[in-house]
């Protein structure tokens, strides 16, 4: 039985994992990508994302590797693991189920103003 907490928090991990499923990346870039894509809907702070990345690593959903960029700066790259892809798939499934429920509820309320 999935807890509500996991489900709600799933949205954040889901976004990060989906970014990494496309291409390995590092914290600073992940933050920019997601905030760009959010286009003002929300803004993730560094203090939100770095702890989340550490948690994803602890859970085995990503692995990390320090790399030296052309610029000379050190970057901590995050790679999604097989387990991470499973979690992404499952999370996506649950997300849809939850969204479907929310939509059904809210749209049942009335036919006005939406």
- Site stretch for its own copies (CB under 8 A), options 24-32, 35-43, 60-68, 70-78: 35-43
Both tokens of 11, joined, read 């949205």
95 part of the interface to its own copies, by CB under 8 A: yes
Pairing of β 62-68 and β 25-26? unpaired
Among 22, 36, 41, 72, contact with DNA (rule: CB under 7 A): 72
Report the partner that residue 92 touches, choosing among DNA, its own copies, none (CB closer than 5 to 8 A by kind). Answer: its own copies
Find the binding residues for DNA in span 17-46 (CB under 7 A): 26-29, 42-46
The candidate with the shortest Cα–Cα distance to 78, out of 88, 64, 68, 67, is 64
How are strands ordered across the β-sheet holding 25-26?
Answer: 25-26, 74-80, 62-68
Q: Are the CB atoms for 77 and 66 separated by under 8 Å? A: yes
Under the binding rule (CB under 8 A), the answer on residue 71 touching its own copies is no
Label residue 84 exposed, middle or buried (CB < 10 Å: 0-12, 13-18, 19+).
Answer: buried
Return residues touching its own copies (CB under 8 A). 1-4, 7-9, 11-12, 14-15, 18-19, 21-22, 37-38, 40-44, 48, 85, 88-89, 92-95, 97-99, 101-102, 104-106, 108-110, 113-114
């Amino acid at each position: 039985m999935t807890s509500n907490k996991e489900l709600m928090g799933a949205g954040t991990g889901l976004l990060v994992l989906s970014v990494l499923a496309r291409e390995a990346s590092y914290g600073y870039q992940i933050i920019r990508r997601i905030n760009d894509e959010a286009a003002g809907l929300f803004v993730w702070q560094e203090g939100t994302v770095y702890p989340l990345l550490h948690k994803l690593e602890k859970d085995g959903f990503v692995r990390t590797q320090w790399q030296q960029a052309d610029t000379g700066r050190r970057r901590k790259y995050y790679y999604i693991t097989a387990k991470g892809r499973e979690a992404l798939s499952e999370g996506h499934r649950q997300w849809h189920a939850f969204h479907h429920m929310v939509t059904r509820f809210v749209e049942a309320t009335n036919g006005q103003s939406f």
